[in-house]
């Protein structure tokens, strides 16, 4: 992992963790929102070349 990826990885972990309480409470919309935010950051951080 490059030094430039440390902050994005921390944000991905936080966003993934933010989805958990919403899943437990049954608020699927908010859980999907936070999961999608994490996936978007994964795509931008690790899958985009440039």
Q: Which residues contact 11 (CB under 8 A, 6 or more apart)?
A: 41
* Domain positions in the chain: 3-47
Written as six digits, the tokens of 10 are 């921390």
DSSP-assigned letters across all residues of the chain: --GGGHHHHHHHHHHHHHHHHHHHHT-HHHHHHHHHHHHHHHIIIII---
Record the pTM. Answer: 0.87
pLDDT at 48: 84
When the pLDDT of each residue in the chain is averaged and rounded to a whole number, the result is 95
Sign (positive or negative) of CA dihedral 12, 40, 8, 47: positive
Dump pLDDT digits (tens) for 4-22. Answer: 999 999 999 999 999 999 9
């Amino acid at each position: 992992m490059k030094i430039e990826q440390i902050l994005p990885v921390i944000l991905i972990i936080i966003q993934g963790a933010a989805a958990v309480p919403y899943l437990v409470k049954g608020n699927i919309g908010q859980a999907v929102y936070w999961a999608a935010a994490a996936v978007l950051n994964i795509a931008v951080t690790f899958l985009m070349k440039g």
